[in-house]
Amino acid sequence: MIQETVGSAKTRGVASIGRLPKINPVFFVLAALLVAITFSNPNFIEPTGYMNFLKRAAPLAILAAGQIYVIVSGGFDLSAGSLITLTVVGSSMLLDNSADATWWVIAVMYAVGLAVGVVNGLVVSYLRVPSLIATLGMMITLNGAAFMWSSGSPRGYLPETFRFFGRASIQGIPLIQFLPVALLVLLVVGFILFWLMHRTNLGRMLHALGDNPRAAQMSGVPIERVRIIAFVASSLSAVTAGILLGGFAGVSTDVGVGYELQAITACVIGGAQLLGGRGSVPASIAGALTLTAIFTLLNFIGLPKPTRDVVQGLILIAAVVLATYRRNRAGGT
């Protein structure tokens, strides 16, 4: 008994950061992929190489870091992709190339994101509609709303002040030469989401809620509030991703299409348990980077798009099979 308690004291540090038994395999996979990319394209180790890669991966990584909140709480957020579209289209409508409006437009977009998250959360919590359906409905609605707002195609330019976040870089930094603003945003958002998920009461309550909602309720967890916060985290991260994507590539109508599934894929590659109870923000970000690395590698190798689809499908399934296998081996019965 004494020995056991000593053991437990030692492992407690691990316990507090999401209790990954070992280092999550996604980090090894990511490292291996980056090495492979470097071999196929030596320029990748130049700052332009990896910084471009990180800049490009930032929106998906942020989206995955938000999506993991909903996944850990036991649900899905399918509306994230359409919220990206709405953010880009809406910003272009409101801004119409006037730089002065940037800040309030960004504020409005975050307010829209907040509202979307709250509505998703309310519908799931109080109307008891499963999140798969609730956010599917939201996805269709937001897509329609984006089109309705713009009558089919966005009607304004995004000024450089808005595009700064997704496009610009801070120059003249020693060692790495330059730092894309998008990467900075990822670091800040990633840290906040990491801290909330793995250091605060909220994070533990999210895990409890996804693990066993009834037990969470009977233990005093404000389950409705926690669930709403999970959806809000996802929605706000989607708005952030939208701002970065709009910045990176400018206005278009179907920016967000498919991003929700990619974000869920990233979380799954990062070892998240679908239907709740287990998941990590850093691993989800790593999952997003892994997914982007795979696409980049396939690009470099010159594989055609169809192959990329197949590879993504296989990796998705393989990641889950592997995670299940590990869990079964580690988990006893």
Partner 1 sequence: MNTKHPAIEMRGITKSFPGVKALKNVSFSAHCGEVHALAGENGAGKSTLMKILSGIYRPDGGSVVVNGEERHFTHPLAAIRAGIAVIYQEFSLLPERTVAQNIFLGREPTRRGLIDHKAMNDEARRALALFGSAHRIEPSTVVADLDVASQQLVEIAKAVSLEAKVIVMDEPTAALNEAECEVLFGLVDTLKKSGVAIVYITHRMPEITRLANRVTVLKDGEVAVRFDHVPEPEAIVRAMVGRDLGDFYAEPAAPQEIGDVVLSVHNAGNERLKNVSFELRAGEIVGFSGLQGAGRVALAQAIFGLSPFTEGEITLSGKPARFTSPREAIRAGVGLLPGDRKAEALVLMQSVVDNGMLTSRALSGLSGNANATPFVSAEAMEKLLRELDVRAGSFAQDIKALSGGNQQKAIVARWLALAPRLLIFIEPTRGIDVNAKAGIYHLMRDLARKGTAIMMVSSDLPEVLGVSDRVLVMRNGELVAAFSRGASEADVMLAATGEEAVAA
Partner 2 sequence: MKRLLTAALSAALVAGTAHSQQLNFDDTAEFDRQRTLLTAKANGPEGEPWEQYYGDQMADTAKYKKPGPYTICFSNAGVNNAWRVTGWTNMQAEVKLHPEIKELIHVDAEGSDDKQIADIDDLINGGKCSALIVSPNTTAALTPAVEKACAKLPVIVFDRGVNTKCPVTFIHPVGGYGFGIQAGEFVAATAPAGADVLMLRIVPGVDVLETRASAAKRIFKETGLNVIGEEFTEGDNAKTKSIVEDYLQRGKIDAIWMDAGATAVAALEAFEDAGLPPPIITGEDQQDFLVKWKAEGFKAIAPTYPTYQWRTPIIAAVKVLQGEAVPGPEWVMPQPAITAETLDQYVDAKMPPLHHAMCGCEKLPDYPAAWGGK
Partner 3 sequence: MNKATLLRRPAWRMEQCAPALLLGLAVLIYVAIALSLGLTRFLTPEATVSILNRSVALGITAVGQTFTILVGSIDLSVAHLISASAVVSSAIMNGDPAMMVPAVVAVLVMGAVVGTLNGLLITRLDVNPLIATLGMALIIQGCLASFYGRFDGSVPDAFQYFAYGEVLGLPVSLIVLALLVLGAWIVLRFTRFGSNIYSVGGNRDTARAAGINTTRVVMASHIICSLCAALAGLYLASRLKSGSPWIGTEGAYDLESIAVVVIGGTILSGGKGGIWGTVAGVIIFSLIDSIFNLAGIDAFAKQVMRGIIIVAAVAFYAVRSKRIVA
Residues contributing to the site for partner 3 (CB under 8 A): 73-76, 123-124, 126-134, 136-145, 147-148, 151-152, 209-210, 213-214, 217, 223, 227, 261, 265, 268, 274-276, 304-314, 316-317, 320-321, 324, 328
Which two three-digit tokens encode residue 52?
A: 């471009």
- For residues 225 and 305, which CB has a smaller minimum distance to partner 1 in the complex? 225
Q: Categorise residue 133: left if φ over 0, alpha if ψ from -120 to 50, beta otherwise.
A: alpha
Taking the least distance from each CB to partner 1, the nearer of 81 and 210 is: 210
Q: Which two tokens stand for residue 216?
A: 């969470």
Q: How many residues bind partner 2 (CB under 8 A)?
A: 38
Residue type, 63: L
Given partner 2, partner 1, partner 3, none, residue 107, with its beta carbon under 5 to 8 Å by kind, binds none
Residue 313: helix, strand or coil by DSSP? helix
Gyration radius of the chain over CA positions: 20
Is 140 a binder of partner 2 (CB under 8 A)?
no
CA–CA distance, 94 with 121 (Å, rounded to integer)? 27
Among 156, 190, 282, 287, binds partner 2 (CB under 8 A): 156
Per DSSP, 44 falls in state G
Q: Is 217 in the site for partner 1 (CB under 8 A)?
A: yes
- In contact, 30 and 286? CB cutoff 8 Å: yes
Of 45, 200, 318, 324, the one binding partner 2 (CB under 8 A) is 318
| Of 158, 165, 211, 155, residue with least CA distance to 186 | 165
Amino acid (1-letter code) at residue 326: R
By CB under 8 A, residue 173 contacts partner 2: no
Tell whether residue 23 is a contact of partner 1 (CB under 8 A). no
Nearest to 178 by CA among 73, 301, 52, 31: 52
DSSP per-residue string spanning 145-184: HHHHHHTTS--SPPPHHHHHHHH-EEEEETTTEEEEHHHH
Region near partner 1 per CB under 8 A, out of 86-94, 131-139, 207-215, 242-250: 207-215
Q: Strand 169-173 relative to strand 177-180: parallel, antiparallel, unpaired?
A: antiparallel
Q: Cβ(296)–Cβ(37) under 8 Å?
A: yes
22 touches partner 1 (CB under 8 A): no
Closer Cβ to partner 3, 132 or 170, answer by number: 132
**Restricting to residues 247-306, which ones interact with partner 2 according to CB under 8 A?**
248-255, 257, 296, 299-300, 302, 304-305
Residues at the contact surface with partner 2, assessed by CB under 8 A: 41, 43-44, 46, 48-49, 52, 56, 59, 92, 151-157, 167, 245, 248-255, 257, 296, 299-300, 302, 304-305, 310, 314, 317-318
Residue ranges binding partner 1 (CB under 8 A): 1, 4-5, 7-9, 11-12, 14-16, 19, 196, 199-205, 207-208, 211-212, 214-222, 229, 273, 277-278, 329, 331-333
